[in-house]
Amino acid sequence: MASIRKRVGSSGTTYHVQIRRKGLKPLTKSFSNRSLAQQWARQTESALERSEFLDLTEAKTTALSKVLERYSAEVAINLKGWSQEQSRCKGLRERLGLGWQCAAQATTL
């Protein structure tokens, strides 16, 4: 169940929503309007119940080059064509650079 707290501060009134589920990290978000907070809480809880919620918090801080590097070291090495796969990963890392964040790519798919 979501909890909504009214917070009054120097920038005005905000509504802080927190959804806690066993086995998951708490989800929190702030809104300037109570009805928007309630709507987000309902939609998010519904998605959690249907197992459709996609948490992108880790993806926002992970660079795509790190994902390719880890894939190359942990997964590609067990594939039949591992040397070609590692070469593809290296080429992608070089072409894309270091600045690409995974969350930006996931939201465009």
The predicted-structure confidence for 46-72, as pLDDT tens digits, reads as follows 888 887 776 666 677 777 777 888 888
Note down pLDDT in tens along the chain; length 109 residues. 789 999 998 889 999 999 998 877 888 899 999 999 999 999 988 888 887 776 666 677 777 777 888 888 888 888 888 888 888 888 887 777 666 666 555 544 4
Mark whether 69 and 97 lie in a shared domain.
yes
Mark whether 98 and 71 lie in a shared domain.
yes
Residue 34 is inside which H or E element, if any?
A: helix 34-49
pTM over 0.85? The answer is no
**How many other C-beta atoms are found inside a 10 Å radius of the C-beta of residue 74?**
9
Mark whether 100 and 62 lie in a shared domain.
yes
Mark whether 75 and 96 lie in a shared domain.
yes
Return the CA Rg of the chain. 20
Q: Give the range of the structural domain holding residue 44, as residue numbers without chain letter.
A: 2-55
Mark whether 81 and 38 lie in a shared domain.
no
